[in-house]
Structure 1
């Protein structure tokens, strides 16, 4: 499990790649890729890349944890 170097959402880039998703969530990169392919996860395909908009990621995390976006 990876430890996140981010302490708040403001430190995240506008678009997260699989490595950043893995780091933020403290999971392996393969788990991040699996998550990014799940229905309902806010991932965008741009050519061969998959990225996640920061604000959509934040809303997704809030929804998963029962928070109020």
Structure 2
């Protein structure tokens, strides 16, 4: 019988949305650069209440864009 609860499994989930601070760490970019990327449309984001959130898919798309531009 497994002793793992639903709460224990939650820490293994990959987030679908990242706060700006988390995106900064993932991409190793400054807050200013992240907001400039959002303003320019190179990095998609959504708003939930007052929070600006960046979908995981938007981070993947941005990385793909960088790879295409480097080729």
TM score, norm. by length of structure 1: 0.62
Q: What runs of 5+ residues in structure 2 fail to find an aligned partner?
A: 1-12
User: Counting helix residues as a fraction of each chain, which structure ranks higher?
Assistant: 2
> Are 1:62 and 2:64 an aligned pair?
yes
Aligned residues: 57
Q: Deviations over 1:20-46 (max 9, x none)?
A: 111011122333233333324210111
Mark the runs of 5 or more structure 1 residues left unpaired by the alignment.
1-10
Q: Which structure has the larger Rg over C-alpha atoms?
A: 2
CA RMSD of aligned residues (A): 2.3
Question: Any runs of at least 4 consecutive aligned residues in structure 1 with deviations exceeding 4 A, and if so which?
Answer: none
